Amino acid sequence: MNKKKEIVLSGIRPTGFVHLGNYFGAIRNWANMQDEFDCYFCVVDWHSLTTHPDTKELKPNVARLLSELIGSGLDPDKCVLYIQSDVPEIAELYLYLNMLAYKGELEKTATFKDKVRMQPGNSNAGLLTYPVLQAADILIHRAVKVPVGKDQEQHIEMTRNFAERFNYRYGEVFPKPYAFNYGEALIKIMSLDGSGKMSKSENQMNTIYLADDDEMLRNKIMKAKTDSGPTMPNAAKPDYIQGLFNLMKVASADEVVKKFEADFNNCSIRYGEMKKQLAEDMIKFITPIRARSEAIRNDDKYMMQVMEQGAAKARASAKVTLQLVRDAMGFKYY
């Protein structure tokens, strides 16, 4: 008998180049989940309007992001890869969920507070209800696993709350979704100067993009913040050093990481040597991803087919959930 696979959903905003935080925090898991689960991955163009109201760059940004997702290993025949605005059912579910979300909890959301600080002239209602739209993205497919980085944890918790409130009020429609990262804690990739998480709005020299060429990668990694090294054996690592080790763990061979860990622990580490090694390993890691993305980006026919196919499959799933929602709520007058 064919056991039904668990449903997975995740999303990414088309607001800039894909960076290593996106890749190691989320996309790498997405690629690994495609065979095991029933996966939906969404380019959330509506969400990007909360911070980027100008839509002129949307088309090239969406094309670039899609090509980078496919270049990173997503297979549009194994997962449903689609664009949020192709699925209007999400907007209807967003409307219903908005009635179950409280102003107080939305105002307390960490990402809302951050964004208001960053763009004080544009505290729009979409920014306030951002987590509600994200909940609609997840719940529209009745997903249970949401592979995301650490920064999205609070949003997934809010999604669970909205789902529970809906079920309590109107009847059981939604399973409870959880943030997911293959059995480990959720990941946070630090920016190269160790000042915070790597992000699309960070200083570009502190962020490594999948689109960076070899020279740029070498340059950025060699400039990453270090210090004169530990003065005591087995010392705790400062954040920016831990960040470099984390990157090394994902891009370099185990023996290489072990060697530099040992060097750190016996105070003989040479950070110049470590960064050189990391740069070369990162180049080896990123080059094939960049090449695959570039190869498909300008293939309009292929890109269009991917978008159409994704939209059709995502809508079919969304329609089923929305009908359950409408039935549960009693929108049936004749």
Residues marked as catalytic: 115, 197, 200
- Binding to ligand TYM (CB under 6 A) within 134-153 occurs at 134, 137-138, 146, 148-152
Please, what is the minimum distance in Å from the beta carbon of residue 29 to ligand TYM?
9
How many Cβ atoms sit within 10 Å of the Cβ of residue 1? Answer: 3
Count of all residues that appear for the chain in the document: 334
Q: Among the candidate windows 74-82, 191-199, 210-218, 249-257, which touches ligand TYM by CB under 6 A?
A: 191-199
Q: Is 278 exposed, middle or buried (0-12, 13-18, 19+ CB in 10 A)?
A: buried
For residues 260 and 245, the answer to whether their CB atoms sit within 8 Å is yes
Report helix, strand or coil for 264.
Answer: helix
Q: Please name the amino acid found at residue 292.
A: R
For residues 210 and 291, the answer to whether their CB atoms sit within 8 Å is no
For residues 182 and 144, the answer to whether their CB atoms sit within 8 Å is no
Nearer to ligand TYM, 143 or 257 (CB): 143
Token reading at 252: 């370099």
13 counts as binding ligand TYM under rule CB under 6 A: yes
259 counts as binding ligand TYM under rule CB under 6 A: no
- Binding to ligand TYM (CB under 6 A) within 194-233 occurs at 197-199
For residues 144 and 98, the answer to whether their CB atoms sit within 8 Å is no
8 counts as binding ligand TYM under rule CB under 6 A: no
Q: Among the candidate windows 8-16, 259-267, 274-282, 323-331, which touches ligand TYM by CB under 6 A?
A: 8-16
177 counts as binding ligand TYM under rule CB under 6 A: no
- Binding to ligand TYM (CB under 6 A) within 32-61 occurs at 44, 47
Least Cα distance to 311 among 85, 45, 82 occurs for 82
193 counts as binding ligand TYM under rule CB under 6 A: no
Strands 38-43 and 7-12 come out as parallel
Nearer to ligand TYM, 112 or 269 (CB): 112
Which residues bind to ligand TYM, rule: CB under 6 A? 9-13, 21-22, 25-26, 44, 47, 134, 137-138, 146, 148-152, 155, 187-189, 197-199
